[in-house]
A and B are shown apart, each in its own frame.
Chain A
C-alpha cells in the first residue's frame, strides 16, 4: 500500500479515537478523501482497529455510501424519493444513463462521471431533484439535466 493512503488513514484513526466502532466513520472519511475504499485501505483499517477483515469488508459492502471501485470526479445523484418518483425521476435517471452511457452504480471510462441512485435527499418539495457533487438541482426536466451535465465536462 502506498504511504500516502497509510498516512491519511493514520490521521483519521487518531481523529476518531481508535476503537472498533470507529470503522464506519473512518471509512466515510477515506471514501470522501480517496473516492473509494481500496482493498489496502480496508485491510489497513481493520488491522489498526483490530477487527477482523471480514467484518470490515462486510461493513464496506453493507452501506451504500461506500464504493469498492474509484468513483468519477463528478458524482451524479438522482433522487428516487417518493415525491421524485411520481414526478418522473426514473425517466431523469434513464436520460442521464443514456447520455453518459453508464448504468446507475457505474463510472464512465474517462472517470469524469459516476451515476448513483439515491433513496431520498430530503428536498421533496423541489422534486425531481438531481445532485451533482455538492450542487442540488431542483425541479429538473429531462432536457435540463443534459445541459446540467455539460457544465461538469
Chain B
C-alpha cells in the first residue's frame, strides 16, 4: 500500500501498534552488533526453538540496542497487563527455564535488570502504559526503568526507538509516531517555515563541529543548482564512538524521515547515506529500510500525493577516516580517493558533482522528526544557552557501566561518569575523559564538573565531536594516549597537504621517542611548534584538529611528559620501554598461572614456590600481569 493520505498512515500505525503491544506474549532480543557479539543471535534462535518445543505461544522480535551494552544480550518480555521486564546477560542456557515459567506468566528474577510500567513516546509526548498502577506496585522489588541511575538522567530523543521497535519493520516505526512529521512537512508546510522551525530549535550538527543545522539548510535552500543533494554522513570514524551505528541498526527509519524533511526543505531530490564499511549490519538495516519505505510510498515519486519526489541510495565507505570530512566524503561518492579540497566553495554551494549538497550526520537527522513534531521551542528548552537538545555519548573505557547514553546538553561530565556510568571500574581512580576522538582532547579529573556542551568542551581544549567518551583510569599513560591518536592520524591523513602529512608524522616520532625514554627537553617546544603549524595551516578539519590530543595532554598532564623525558619513567606503567615486571614475593602463591601465560618463557618457578621474571627474556606483553589471581605481578 502506498501512503498518500493521513488515513493511510494511521492505518499503518494501527497495525504497528498491534505489533508493539500484542494481545499475547512478546519477547524482544537486542540484535545490534554488540548484542550479537555477546551471543544475542543465539539467544534469539533459542527462544524460537524453545517456544515451539514447549508449545508456548509468544512472538520473538529482534530489536536494536537499548544502550546498556555491558549487560548484553538483553531481552525484554512483554506480557499483556504486566510491566515490561528487561533481562540482562541472558545466555542460551537460560532460555528453557524462562520459557517454562512463561506458561505461568512468571519471569525468574535472577536475570532481571528492571521493569517498565509505562513508556513516553517523545515524538508525540503521549505515555503508553504496560501495566496499571496496582500491577506495577506488586512488582515492587524490581527496580523501575526511571529509577535506575543509568537511565535517570538520560533523555532519549535520537535514541527514542532504539531497542523498542523492530528496525526492519516500518509499521513499528510508524506506530511510534514515525513519518507523521514528514507527512505534515511535505503536505502542509513551506520549506522556509520548516527551516525557521529547525533554526528555532537551536539544533547543531552532531557530527563534531556543531554547525547550526537550520543555517546549513537555509544556505542549501538558497544555493542555486539544477539538482540538489542531501547526504547523511554515517562515516562514523572516531574510534570510541558508535551512536550512529546504533541508530542505523536500531532505528533506520528515523534517519530516513529526517532526510525526507531535509530534502523537502532545501529542495533536494536525491539523497545518499554514506555508511562505514566496517558496519555491515547498519548497511543491511538501512538498505532494508529504504526498500520498505519505497514500497510504502515513503520514498520515491510524488510522495504523499504531492509533486515532491525523493530517493535515497546507500554508499558503503571503504575504510578511510578522512572520508568523514565533507569534501572527502563527496570525492569518495564520486569514485575518487577521499582527498579533501579547499573550502570555499562549501558543499552547500558546490558539492556532489558540483551541485548544492547538504551533509548532515546520522544523529542530527534522527532528531529532526521530533524537532518538527514537538516544535522548535520545545526542543530549545532542553540543553544550555548555545547547545540545545540532547547528545548521545558512547560511555566506554574504565567505567563501571559502559554503554550508549543520551543526555541533555549541559549535564556535567561528573554526572555522566559517576551517576550514569557508576564510577570507575575495579575501584580505580578517574584520571581523564577523552572526548571528540582524534580531533578532541583529554579532560582531566579536576575539570570533571565541566558542563558538557559545545562551548565548554572547546574551551577545555577538547571538542564535543561525534560523542565518543572514553573514561581513563590511573593506569592510562597520557603520553601514550597522545601517541596513539597521532599514530592513527598519520595513517589516516590523506597525505595531500604538508602540515598534516609531515606534521602528524613528526609529532608521532617525537612522542614515540619520548615513550621510549629517549625524549629531550626541547621536544616539548617542538611539539608545540608543529601543533601550531598543523592547526593553523592544514587544509581540512582533520589536520586543523589533529593537534588537540597532544595539546590537551600537554596542557593538563605536562608533568607526565616531564616524567617520561627527565626521569625516564612511566608511572602509569604503560610505556614498555620504561617499565619492568617483577613478582612480589610476599604475594606470590606459586599458582603457575603467570608461567603458563608467558609466551616467551620469561617466568620461572616451581609449583607452590615463588616465581621469577627474567628481565632479559621479558617482552612486556603483560600476559602474566593480567592472569595473576593475587596481583603479585608488579609493574615498576
Asked whether any CB of A lies within 8 Å of a CB of B in the complex, the reply is yes
Binding site for B on A (CB under 8 A): 19-25, 27-28, 49, 51, 55, 58-59, 62-66, 80-83, 85-88, 91, 94-95, 98, 118-127, 129, 134, 136-138, 141-143
B315, B336, B402, B626 — most chain A CB neighbours (10 Å): B336
Query: Within the complex, what minimum Cβ distance (angstroms) separates B432 from chain A?
Result: 10
CA distance A22 to B403 in the complex (A): 37
7 A-B pairs closest in CB distance? A125-B69, A63-B318, A122-B242, A21-B335, A64-B319, A120-B239, A136-B37
Query: Within the complex, what minimum Cβ distance (angstroms) separates B82 from chain A?
Result: 29
User: Which residues of B (279-325) have their CB < 8 Å from a CB of A?
Assistant: 279-280, 315-321
Are A120's CB and B240's CB within 8 A?
yes
Given A59-B335, A122-B279, A123-B242, CB of A86 within 8 Å of CB of B622: no
Cβ of B38 < 8 Å from any Cβ of A?
yes
Contacts of A64 in B (CB 8 A): 318-320
Given A81-B239, A142-B621, CB of A22 within 8 Å of CB of B335: yes
Are B278's CB and A121's CB within 8 A?
yes
A-B contact pairs, 10 of them (CB 8 A): A21-B333, A62-B337, A64-B318, A82-B437, A83-B470, A86-B397, A98-B599, A125-B404, A129-B37, A136-B33
Cβ of B238 < 8 Å from any Cβ of A?
yes
Are B622's CB and A91's CB within 8 A?
yes
0/1 string, B408-439, CB within 8 A of A gives 1? 00000000000000000000000000100100
Are B597's CB and A142's CB within 8 A?
yes
CA distance A141 to B593 in the complex (A): 14
Are B623's CB and A80's CB within 8 A?
no
Query: Within the complex, what minimum Cβ distance (angstroms) separates A71 from chain B?
Result: 14
Contacts of A126 in B (CB 8 A): 34, 37-38, 69, 72
Question: Residue A86 contacts which of B336, B398, B437, B597 (CB distance < 8 angstroms)?
Answer: B398
Are B337's CB and A58's CB within 8 A?
yes
Query: Within the complex, what minimum Cβ distance (angstroms) separates A141 from chain B?
Result: 6
* Total number of B residues with any Cβ neighbor in A under 8 Å: 62
Cβ of B488 < 8 Å from any Cβ of A?
yes
Contacts of A121 in B (CB 8 A): 33, 278
Residue of A nearest to B494 (CB): A62
CA distance A134 to B33 in the complex (A): 11
Contacts of A85 in B (CB 8 A): 239, 481, 484
Contacts of A28 in B (CB 8 A): 277, 316, 318
Given A59-B337, A124-B396, CB of A95 within 8 Å of CB of B623: yes
Query: Within the complex, what minimum Cβ distance (angstroms) separates B271 from chain A?
Result: 15
Contacts of B619 in A (CB 8 A): 94
Contacts of B621 in A (CB 8 A): 91, 94-95, 142
CA distance A59 to B278 in the complex (A): 18
Residue of B nearest to A83 (CB): B396
CA distance A80 to B237 in the complex (A): 12
Contacts of B245 in A (CB 8 A): 122
Are B318's CB and A66's CB within 8 A?
yes
Cβ of B502 < 8 Å from any Cβ of A?
no
Contacts of B34 in A (CB 8 A): 123, 125-126, 138
Contacts of B334 in A (CB 8 A): 20-21
B318, B398, B437 — most chain A CB neighbours (10 Å): B318
Are A25's CB and B315's CB within 8 A?
yes
Question: Residue A63 contacts which of B236, B240, B319, B397 (CB distance < 8 angstroms)?
Answer: B319
Residue of B nearest to A58 (CB): B337
Contacts of A66 in B (CB 8 A): 318-319
CA distance A24 to B318 in the complex (A): 7
Question: Residue A83 contacts which of B36, B321, B397, B623 (CB distance < 8 angstroms)?
Answer: B397
B280, B315, B337, B398 — most chain A CB neighbours (10 Å): B337
CA distance A81 to B492 in the complex (A): 13
Residue of A nearest to B401 (CB): A125
Are B492's CB and A119's CB within 8 A?
yes
Question: Residue A122 contacts which of B33, B316, B434 (CB distance < 8 angstroms)?
Answer: B33
CA distance A20 to B236 in the complex (A): 25
CA distance A58 to B337 in the complex (A): 7
CA distance A60 to B275 in the complex (A): 19
Residue of B nearest to A134 (CB): B280
Contacts of A122 in B (CB 8 A): 33, 236, 241-242, 245, 276, 278-279
Cβ of B186 < 8 Å from any Cβ of A?
no
Cβ of B262 < 8 Å from any Cβ of A?
no
Contacts of A127 in B (CB 8 A): 396-397
Residue of A nearest to B249 (CB): A122
CA distance A141 to B622 in the complex (A): 10
CA distance A51 to B488 in the complex (A): 31
Are A86's CB and B470's CB within 8 A?
yes
Given contacts A20-B335, A59-B335, A86-B398, 20 further A-B contacts (CB under 8 A): A20-B334, A25-B315, A62-B338, A63-B338, A64-B318, A65-B277, A65-B318, A82-B240, A82-B434, A83-B239, A119-B321, A119-B488, A120-B242, A122-B242, A124-B242, A125-B70, A127-B397, A136-B37, A138-B38, A142-B621
